[in-house]
Amino acid sequence: AVLTEVQEAAGQIVLFLDELHTIVGAGKTEGAQDAANRLKPLLARGELHCIGATTLEEYRKYIEKDTALERRFQPALIAEPSVQDTISILRGLKERYDIYHGVKIKDSALVSAAVLSERYISDRFLPDKAIDLIDEAAAKLRTEIDSMPVELDEIVRKTIQLEIEKEALKMEKDKTSKERLSRIEKSLADLNEKGNSLRSQWEEEKKHLQKVRELKSLIEEVKFQIEKAERNYDLNKAAELKYGSLIKFEKDLEELSSMEAEGPARMLKEEVGEEDIAEVVAKWTRIPVSKLMQGEMEKLMNLGDHLHERVIGQDQAVNAVSDAILRARAGIKEPGKPGDKK
């Protein structure tokens, strides 16, 4: 049905197949063709335009073995994007992840995801590993927002403990127990008052975040409708959306943001920062967060001290290695040598 619809579109649809190698043998049963054999005649006659994506290893393993299928495609090698390119990609995806998770992703978190994933995660490629870092950090923060705050949870637990103790002391008749019961009742009253206040604040903040999330979703939908109207040359509708609905929703979002800035200290953290990214990297790699957050300059300045802690009784060698690395980083080493001769 999909192939028929693409054929009938007469070149207006370009089919994109991720994991292209999976079409070889897919859907093949006794007396039936697999997906690759269904595509070949359409590609040969020019009735279907298709872009496929796969890895070099899987291309050699599956596509090259089917020479007829290989002839229908023009290979194009796509290099892994650089850290700077990855940051640009992440900035383009940021708004969608903001809306999906209902949090704010700081630009420093995007930079940190690209840099740390390139530096510490060697078994995967950019931008995939950086995107997954952002996704996991945002999902973790969303879970924390939906879960009861630690401070409120502690009050609830303490209240339950005191309630149990209160019921036990009610059966006692001695003076000490009655005094203890009186103190517990006072503590419970204080805890309930504080707990109700915190719960009310928590619910209000959750409602606020939900409103922000809904507005961002509406703004994205309006922008999509504007692009669609412009593609269809429906300029009246595009203008109505751009200067009507879009401006209204953006103004409402701005008002919510200003209310947030002017309000009291918040219980819920709603921004994904570089420390959140570092925590996810630490979880994946088991490298301490403190080391991940340490800057390059700080690492170099403390290099000698760290080497002295690990190498005992070799001060001259440690100093020579440390100096050579510092000179190399400063760009003043001899060509082809790590350091000057001693």
Give the residue among 113, 142, 135 at the shortest CA–CA distance from 292.
Answer: 113
Summarised one tens digit per residue, pLDDT across range 220-244 is 889 889 988 888 888 888 888 888 8
CATH number of 2-71: 3.40.50.300
* From-to residues of CATH 3.40.50.300 in the chain: 2-71, 150-262
Q: How confident is the model at residue 342 (pLDDT cuts 50, 70, 90)?
A: very low
pLDDT at position 330: 61
The pLDDT of 68-88, averaged and rounded, is: 89
Angle subtended at Cα 307 by Cα 304 and Cα 311, rounded to the nearest 5 degrees? 135
pLDDT at position 28: 55
Q: How many CB atoms lie within 10 A of CB 174?
A: 9
Distance from C-alpha of 37 to C-alpha of 46, rounded to nearest angstrom:
15
- Tell me which of 236 and 327 has the higher pLDDT: 236
- What is the Cα 138 distance to its own chain's centre? 5
Summarised one tens digit per residue, pLDDT across range 182-196 is 888 899 899 989 888
pLDDT at position 105: 92
pLDDT at position 341: 47
Long-range contact set of residues 5-8: C-beta below 8 Å, sequence gap at least 24: 6/42, 6/48, 7/42, 7/47, 7/48
Q: How confident is the model at residue 58 (pLDDT cuts 50, 70, 90)?
A: confident
Distance from C-alpha of 196 to C-alpha of 156, rounded to nearest angstrom:
10
pLDDT at position 297: 59
Integer Rg of the chain from CA: 31
pLDDT at position 334: 60
pLDDT at position 83: 92
- pLDDT of 102 above 90: no
Summarised one tens digit per residue, pLDDT across range 289-320 is 766 665 555 666 667 777 777 778 887 887 88
Question: In this structure, which topology does domain 150-262 adopt according to CATH?
Answer: Rossmann fold (3.40.50)
pLDDT at position 234: 86
| Residues 6 or more apart in contact with residue 181 via CB below 8 angstroms | 166, 169, 170, 172
**Full-model pTM:** 0.65
Beta bridge partners of 15: 50
Summarised one tens digit per residue, pLDDT across range 120-177 is 888 888 899 999 999 999 999 988 888 888 888 898 999 999 888 888 888 888 888 8
Give the residue among 131, 113, 103, 105 at the shortest CA–CA distance from 279.
Answer: 113
How high does pLDDT run on average in the chain?
83
